[in-house]
Amino acid sequence: MKKTAWLLALILLVGTVLTACGGGDSKNSGGNGDGKKPETVRVGIFKNVTHAAGYVALENKYFEKYWGEGVKVEVTAFDNGSDFSIALATDQIDLGFVGPGPSTNQYLKSKNFKVISGSNNGGAVLAVRKDAGISSVKDLVGKTVAIPTRGSTNEISLRLLLQQEGLKVTTDKSGVEIIARAPADTLVAMRQKEVDATLIPEPWGTQMEKEGIGQILVDWDKIPPNNGNYPLTILVAGDKFLKDHRDMAKGAIQANIDAINFIKSNPDKSYDLINNQLKKLSGKGLDNELIKAALSRLNLTPDVSKEAIEEMAKVSIDAGFIKNVKKEELDLSKFLDLSLLDEVKKEKK
Domains, the chain: 40-122+229-348 (3.40.190.10), 124-228 (3.40.190.10)
Tell me the three-class secondary structure of 64-96, residue by residue.
HHHHCCCCEEEEEEECCHHHHHHHHHCCCCCEE
Per-residue pLDDT of the chain (349 residues; tens, 9 = 90+): 444 444 434 334 334 333 333 333 434 444 445 558 899 999 999 998 999 999 999 999 999 999 998 999 999 999 999 999 999 999 999 999 999 999 999 999 999 999 999 999 999 999 999 999 999 999 999 999 999 999 999 999 999 999 999 999 999 999 999 999 999 999 999 999 999 999 999 999 999 999 999 999 999 999 999 999 999 999 999 999 999 999 999 999 999 999 999 999 999 999 999 999 999 999 988 999 999 999 999 999 999 999 999 999 999 999 999 999 999 999 999 999 999 999 999 998 7
For residue 225, say if its preceding peptide bond is cis, omega within 30 degrees of 0: yes
Residues 94-104 as b/e (b if ≥16 CB within 10 A, e otherwise) read bbbbbbbbbbb
The DSSP secondary-structure symbol of 302 reads: S
Residue 245 has φ and ψ, to the nearest 5°, of: -140, 55
Q: Which is it for strands 113-121 and 231-238: parallel, antiparallel or unpaired?
A: antiparallel
What is the number of residues in the chain? Answer: 349
**pTM of the full predicted structure?**
0.88
Q: Which amino acid is at 125?
A: V
